[in-house]
């Protein structure tokens, strides 16, 4: 079982869905859960759209709106896989059983009830899940905060017992500094959770900080790939850790 996560840059165009579908088909693990972000800058566009209608949109409605971005991606990816002859089913965060706190636009994942994902995987299908979103215990659609799809992916790995999450990014791994600002920046092949957390606190955008904390708590390895070179891993965070028996979510952190 493996969780593969594709960020917004890897699904920026319609063609990119065919490309990542191919990356998914090359996966040798039998059970595959895929988490996707919204296409390119879709989330920014949706937020912008909202403020054109209301300068301070009600947060519930804003979550209803921005969660649409990921929903577009999951459906298109399921279609791309279907074209290649592989059965895949898309699920929203809510359908995936991602239960969150009720604070809109910065909800925390409190629990995952992955019955439907498990059933899809058991019947040989690839489960494709919308990142960045969940549902509160009152049944409202919530989002996790910008960049939150990474945290969705790790929470699903925790819930389903996957030992690792593979992140496919537009950069080849985690750099020692921002490569756009510092020409001496280089990719680190391995780092500890604490080192990755420190980099994220300093503003490195490679992994959502909350996803690193959740991975550390559960003993989930994080592997960062470039979607342009999907055959070689750039950075591994928490290499060689093993899964704990208890499952932890963000309420435990």
- Where on the chain is the footprint of ligand ASP (CB under 6 A)? 7-8, 37-38, 43, 69, 131-132, 146-149
* Interface with Mg ion (CB under 5 A), residue from 3, 4, 8, 34: 8
Window contacting Mg ion (CB under 5 A); options: 40-48, 77-85, 166-174, 240-248: 40-48
Q: Which is nearer to ligand ASP, 100 or 241 (CB)?
A: 100
- Answer yes or no whether residue 148 interacts with Mg ion by CB under 5 A: no
Q: How far is the CB of 217 from Mg ion (least distance, A)?
A: 24
In the complex, what is the shortest distance from the CB of residue 147 to ligand ASP, in angstroms, rounded to a whole number? 5
Q: What is the DSSP letter of 79?
A: H
Name which of 43 and 200 has its Cβ closer to ligand ASP. Answer: 43
CB of 30 to ligand ASP, least distance (A): 27
Nearer to ligand ASP, 132 or 168 (CB): 132
Q: Which one of 2-10, 59-67, 188-196, 226-234 is the stretch in contact with Mg ion (CB under 5 A)?
A: 2-10
Applying CB under 5 A, does 73 fall inside the site for Mg ion? no
Per the CB < 8 A criterion, the answer to whether 144 and 100 are in contact is: yes
Binding to Mg ion by residue 16, rule CB under 5 A?
no
Burial 91-115 (b: 16+ CB within 10 A, else e): bbbbebbbbbbeebbebbbbbbebe
* Residues contacting Mg ion: total by CB under 5 A: 4
Largest Cα–Cα separation, the chain? 50
Distance (Å, whole) CA 16 – CA 239: 29
The minimum distance between CB 208 and ligand ASP, in angstroms, equals 7
Residue closer to Mg ion (CB basis): 133 or 241: 133
Asked if 184 contacts 23 with a C-beta cutoff of 8 angstroms, the reply is no
Q: How many CA atoms lie within 13 A of 13 on its CB side?
A: 3
Of 74 and 191, the one with the shorter C-beta distance to Mg ion is: 74
Helical H segments across the chain, by residue range: 14-25, 42-53, 59-66, 68-83, 115-122, 149-160, 193-201, 209-218
Distance of closest approach, residue 69 Cβ to Mg ion, in angstroms:
7
Q: How many CB atoms lie within 10 A of CB 209?
A: 17
Contact criterion met (CB below 8 Å) for 112 and 94: no
Q: How far is the CB of 48 from ligand ASP (least distance, A)?
A: 12
- Look at strands 109-112 and 98-100 and give their pairing: antiparallel
State the pairing for strand pair 190-191/235-237.
parallel
Residues of this chain that bind Mg ion (CB under 5 A): 8, 37-38, 43
């Amino acid at each position: 079982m493996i969780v593969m996560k594709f960020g917004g840059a890897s699904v920026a165009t319609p063609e990119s869905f065919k490309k990542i579908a191919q990356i998914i088909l090359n996966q040798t693990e039998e059970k595959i859960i895929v988490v996707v972000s919204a296409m390119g800058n879709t989330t920014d566009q949706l937020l912008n759209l909202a403020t054109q209608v209301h300068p301070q949109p009600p947060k519930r409605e804003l979550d209803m709106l921005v969660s649409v971005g990921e929903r577009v991606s999951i459906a298109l990816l399921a279609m791309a896989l279907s074209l290649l002859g592989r059965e895949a089913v898309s699920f929203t965060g809510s359908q995936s059983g991602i239960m969150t706190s009720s604070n809109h636009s910065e909800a925390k994942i409190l629990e995952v009830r992955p019955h439907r994902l498990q059933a899809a995987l058991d019947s040989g299908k690839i489960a494709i899940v919308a990142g960045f979103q969940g549902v509160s215990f009152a049944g409202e659609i919530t989002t996790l905060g910008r960049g939150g799809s990474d945290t969705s992916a790790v929470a699903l790995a925790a819930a389903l017992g996957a030992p690792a999450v593979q992140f496919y990014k537009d950069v080849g791994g985690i750099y020692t500094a921002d490569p756009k600002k510092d020409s001496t920046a280089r990719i680190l092949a391995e780092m500890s959770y604490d080192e990755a957390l420190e980099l994220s606190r300093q503003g490195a955008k490679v992994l959502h900080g909350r996803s690193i904390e959740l991975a550390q708590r559960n003993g989930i390895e994080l592997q960062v790939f470039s979607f342009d070179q999907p055959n070689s891993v750039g950075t591994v965070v928490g290499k060689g850790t093993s899964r704990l028996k208890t499952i932890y979510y963000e309420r435990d952190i």
